[in-house]
């Protein structure tokens, strides 16, 4: 199997689950006799499709049992981590065949809870922005202005995501034959750029106030009214309640995103409120200093998010666990599949494009091979993380997979360091003229 860029090494239909990504435990792990599989009722009853008998490799041991088997704490921790990962991998494999139908049923049953979380979160975000803006204006606190800017950008981000998701969901088969889902990724990058600009402006304003040392008037102005601080405290409490509710629904992507947003807002707003109060009781410069710290946090968090989504557009590869899952689905899809030659998955926006090469018998009729490939392709596209899949059928595996397509690089030229590139631009080598020097001559 070629999970990313490996050469020709096809996976045959296995008799052991190791071929599907189920690895053997480390050398220091227990022997099979030491840890016997203990299958829970939910796993045993829910998984009806297990051709490779992966279910028997599920291990369930309590902390007390592991402590008896492995007195050494470090070794016990490694054993527990190994079987936790392996149990998760087996569960992911066994549940992957009905993922699309199961997600639809779950959405129909619990969708209203997710919608409640989204609507309540949007309402509280709006109220939080109004409260933060009122508190910042009435107190003149830069730290509260920073938190108000963060709350405002939360509202903007929700609006941007709503618009881009609707644009992406609008079909246009002639102009955009594979859809417009990458608009969401572009919208996130644009929003991250805007948020970073706001953070830089907050940094400049806070630094200016520190340089001017305009603290005395600030203290006199903020100590007279405690009502804004009470309102901010109530808003933070509402955020905490919503965080608990959304965290209970974290298996749903929308609720998970809002739970992370609420958690971050609780931390940022609590810190901003604390610095604003302390600046009125202790020293004046705690307020602009708190605003600088909040702005730096906003800047780095959104800049990292932007870089992450840029790599999504470039085509970053899927993690190994997802490639293992695709391999398992291909291996167990149909008895006509003799081997799995190549498995690739890479980002095209938020979700993946999947390319899989399977090996059928050369005597297989065209109708049969077409139906096998099409059904496997549709199964892949039923996964929540897959945008589009392509299944290629072959009858032999002696060729090199990368020979089937135009090479992405010539394989001869080596990567160049930044120092070498700068030398080409500015002509730092003796007797040579760089690009800039030549153009200016």
State whether 147 and 281 are in the same domain. yes
- Sort 439 into a burial class: Cβ within 10 Å, 0-12 / 13-18 / 19+: exposed
Domain end (from 298, 314, 330): 314
User: Do 168 and 221 share a domain, yes or no?
Assistant: yes
Average pLDDT over residues 117-134: 79
CA 346/CA 386 separation, integer angstroms: 9
Q: Based on the fold, state whether residues 23 and 83 are members of the same structural domain.
A: yes
CATH code (residue 158): 1.20.1510.10
Hey, is 374 helix, strand or coil? helix
Q: What per-residue confidence (pLDDT) applies to 25?
A: 44
pLDDT exceeds cutoff 70 at 105: no
More confident residue, 114 or 314: 314
Please, are residues 266 and 241 in contact by the beta-carbon 8 Å criterion? no
pTM of the model: 0.63
Does residue 287 fall inside a structural domain? yes
Residues 249, 176 share a domain = yes
Question: In this predicted structure, what is the pLDDT of residue 370?
Answer: 92
Whether residues 208 and 308 fall in one domain: yes
Q: Order the strands of the 11-12 sheet from edge to edge.
A: 11-12, 339-347, 352-359, 386-394
Q: Are residues 54 and 161 in the same domain?
A: no
Domain that holds residue 32: 13-98
pLDDT for res 438:
46
Of 49, 70, 98, which residue constitutes the final position of a domain?
98
Q: pLDDT tier at 426 (50, 70, 90 boundaries)? A: low
Same domain, 196 and 269: yes
The answer to whether residues 269 and 223 belong to one domain is yes
Indicate the number of domains in the chain.
2
Q: Are residues 198 and 293 in the same domain?
A: yes
Cβ 39 vs Cβ 60: under 8 Å: yes
Q: How would residue 410 be classed by pLDDT, with cut points 50, 70 and 90? A: low
Is position 430 within any domain?
no
Residue 215 has pLDDT above 50, yes or no: no
- Which of 244, 288, 27, 339 has its CA nearest to residue 144? 288
Q: Do residues 160 and 249 both lie within one domain?
A: yes
Residues 35 and 126 in one domain: no
Give the distance from CA 248 to its chain's centroid.
19
Question: In the prediction, which pLDDT does 185 show?
Answer: 78
* 407 occurs within a structural domain: no
């Amino acid at each position: 199997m070629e999970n990313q860029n490996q050469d020709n090494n096809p996976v045959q239909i296995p008799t052991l689950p190791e071929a599907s990504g189920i690895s053997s435990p480390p050398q220091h792990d227990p022997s099979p006799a030491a840890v016997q599989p203990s299958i829970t009722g939910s796993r045993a009853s829910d998984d009806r499709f297990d051709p490779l008998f992966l279910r028997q490799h599920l291990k369930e041991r309590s902390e007390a049992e592991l402590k008896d088997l492995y007195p050494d704490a470090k070794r016990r921790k490694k054993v527990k981590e190994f079987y936790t990962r392996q149990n998760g991998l087996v569960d992911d494999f066994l549940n992957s065949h009905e993922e699309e139908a199961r997600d639809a049923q779950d959405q129909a049953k619990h969708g209203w809870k997710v919608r409640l979380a989204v609507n309540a979160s949007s309402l509280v975000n709006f109220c939080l922005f109004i409260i933060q803006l009122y508190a910042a204006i009435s107190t003149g606190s830069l730290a509260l202005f920073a938190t108000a800017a963060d709350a405002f950008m939360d509202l903007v981000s929700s609006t941007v995501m709503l618009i881009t998701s609707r644009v992406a969901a609008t079909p246009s088969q002639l102009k955009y034959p594979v859809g417009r889902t990458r608009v969401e990724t572009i919208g996130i990058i644009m929003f991250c750029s805007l948020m970073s600009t706001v953070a830089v402006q907050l940094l400049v304003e806070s630094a200016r106030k520190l340089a001017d040392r305009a603290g005395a008037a600030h203290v006199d102005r903020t100590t007279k009214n405690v009502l804004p601080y009470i309102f901010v405290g109530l808003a933070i409490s509402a955020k905490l309640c919503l965080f608990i509710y959304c965290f209970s629904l974290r298996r749903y992507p929308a609720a998970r995103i809002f739970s992370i947003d609420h958690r971050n807002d609780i931390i940022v707003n609590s810190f901003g409120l604390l610095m604003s109060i302390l600046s009125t009781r202790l020293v004046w410069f705690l307020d602009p200093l708190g605003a600088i710290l909040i702005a730096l946090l906003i800047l780095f968090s959104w800049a990292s998010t932007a870089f992450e989504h840029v790599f999504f557009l470039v085509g970053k590869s899927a993690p190994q666990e997802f490639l293992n899952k695709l391999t398992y689905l291909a291996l167990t899809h149909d008895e006509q599949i003799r081997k799995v030659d190549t498995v690739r998955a890479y980002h095209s926006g938020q979700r993946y494009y999947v390319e899989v090469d399977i090996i059928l018998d050369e005597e297989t009729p065209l109708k049969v091979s077409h139906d096998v490939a099409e059904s496997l392709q549709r199964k892949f596209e039923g996964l929540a993380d897959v945008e589009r899949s392509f299944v290629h059928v072959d009858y032999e595996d002696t060729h090199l997979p990368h020979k089937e397509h135009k090479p992405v690089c010539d394989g001869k030229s080596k990567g160049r360091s930044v120092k070498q590139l700068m030398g080409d631009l500015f002509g730092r080598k003796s007797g040579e003229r760089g690009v800039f020097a030549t153009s200016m001559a």
